[in-house]
């Protein structure tokens, strides 16, 4: 009602940017209201069917009503989470950086496992346009660091609380003695900045280096210096891209990532808790983990912020992390 009153004002169309945002908000709210009404109708139909099945002692109808109510319950949960994702950047694509921490080759292998986990999660959600922006392979195995994008509506909103240190405990596949090993990797998530948001970057504040793109084991994948590294000297933020054959395209992508990180940095300055998630300066080791993945001596994945646990670690590492995501979103909203 409040939005409709704003739209009715004669001055509403004077500010194009403001008009666009309000119309987007109205469309989003209208969609949520429509979904809520549909769910209400579905529930009423299922309730009537359930009551009739009890009166008639009709087992088949009872089971049908029961299954319909369970499906409605899932839809309500999904809608509730969507209503929580009301931040100004929540609907954006996500840019994710994963860096290996304490643990050497073990940590680099763990970084690659985490990378695969998020790609599999994206595929489960129907986000099929993930792109690697930059990747540094380990000397023996795994990945030292990787930056990639996940494209899809609410990708950033869902993943924003994945930022933090992730800890793995397992029997080392790289140790002949079969000893238990603990590895760490850090995850940082940024919103991909839309074209409507203008981030001014002074050319004198950046240094651009070009180099040859390389693949696993240090093998050159091309003979020209097409890879680009941009250093933002005032903040110390460094981004690079080497996935495209064109130097111009790599520079364009790296600049986009830099803008996202600078935007998140400026946003964090307004946060009273001053969470500087832009630079991963905290030690990637003991005491800082948000989630532990234990494969030995028992199997358990535990989120230390919500205490939510799941025993099927194989499924989790295959991308089944939605419940962890929803738990932290709901806890943060309440």
Q: Residues 77-134: pLDDT tens digits?
A: 888 888 888 888 898 999 999 999 977 899 999 999 999 999 999 999 999 889 999 9
Whole-model pTM: value is 0.73
Tell me, yes or no, whether 23 and 56 share the same domain.
yes
Tell me, yes or no, whether 283 and 183 share the same domain.
yes
Name the one residue in this structure whose structure tokens are 């596949």: 173
89 within domain boundaries: no
210 within domain boundaries: yes
**Is residue 209 pLDDT above 60, yes or no?**
yes
Tell me, yes or no, whether 181 and 284 share the same domain.
yes
Tell me, yes or no, whether 261 and 303 share the same domain.
no
The DSSP H or E segment spanning 7 is: helix 2-8
pLDDT band at 70 (very low <50, low <70, confident <90, very high): very high
Which pLDDT tens digit goes with each residue over 156-184?
Answer: 999 999 999 999 999 988 877 878 899 99
**DSSP category for residue 12:** G
Give the residue from 269, 289, 321 where a domain finishes.
Answer: 269
Structure token pair of residue 103: 């643990």
Q: Is residue 268 within 8 Å of residue 143, measured between CB atoms?
A: no
| pLDDT attached to residue 274 | 38
Residue 27: which CATH number?
Answer: 1.20.58.410
Q: From CA 328, how far away is CA 324, in angstroms rounded?
A: 7
322-333 vs 59-84: helix crossing angle, rounded to 10: 60
198 within domain boundaries: no
Tell me, yes or no, whether 182 and 282 share the same domain.
yes
Residue 251: which CATH number?
Answer: 3.30.160.20
Domain of residue 254 covers: 203-269
């Amino acid at each position: 009602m409040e939005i409709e009153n704003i739209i009715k004002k004669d001055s509403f169309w004077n500010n194009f940017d403001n008009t666009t945002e309000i119309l987007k908000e109205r469309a989003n709210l209208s969609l949520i209201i429509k979904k809520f009404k549909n769910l209400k109708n579905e529930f009423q139909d299922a309730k009537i069917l359930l009551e009739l099945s009890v009166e008639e002692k009709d087992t088949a109808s009872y089971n049908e009503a029961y299954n319909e109510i369970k499906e409605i319950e899932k839809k309500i949960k999904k809608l509730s989470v969507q209503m929580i994702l009301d931040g100004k950047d929540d609907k954006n694509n996500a840019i994710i950086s994963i860096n290996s921490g304490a643990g050497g080759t073990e940590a680099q292998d763990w970084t690659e496992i985490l990378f695969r986990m998020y790609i599999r999660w994206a595929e489960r959600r129907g986000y099929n346009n993930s792109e690697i922006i930059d990747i540094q392979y380990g000397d023996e195995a795994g990945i030292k660091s990787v930056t990639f994008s996940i494209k899809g509506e609410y990708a950033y909103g869902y993943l924003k609380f994945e930022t933090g240190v992730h800890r793995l405990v397992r029997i080392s596949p790289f140790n002949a003695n079969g000893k238990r090993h603990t590895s760490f990797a850090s995850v940082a998530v940024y919103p991909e900045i839309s074209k409507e948001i203008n981030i001014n970057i002074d050319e004198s504040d950046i240094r651009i280096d070009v180099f040859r793109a390389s693949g696993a084991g240090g093998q050159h994948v091309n003979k020209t210096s097409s890879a680009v590294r941009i250093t933002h000297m005032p903040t110390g933020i460094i981004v690079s891209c080497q996935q495209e054959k064109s130097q111009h395209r790599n520079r364009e992508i790296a600049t986009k990532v830099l803008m996202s990180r600078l935007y998140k940095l400026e946003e964090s300055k307004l946060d009273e808790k001053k969470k500087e998630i832009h630079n991963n300066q905290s030690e990637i080791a003991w005491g800082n983990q948000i989630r532990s993945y234990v494969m030995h001596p028992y199997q358990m994945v535990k989120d230390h912020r919500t205490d939510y646990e799941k025993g099927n670690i194989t499924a989790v590492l295959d991308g089944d992390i939605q419940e962890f995501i929803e738990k932290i979103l709901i806890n943060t909203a309440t």
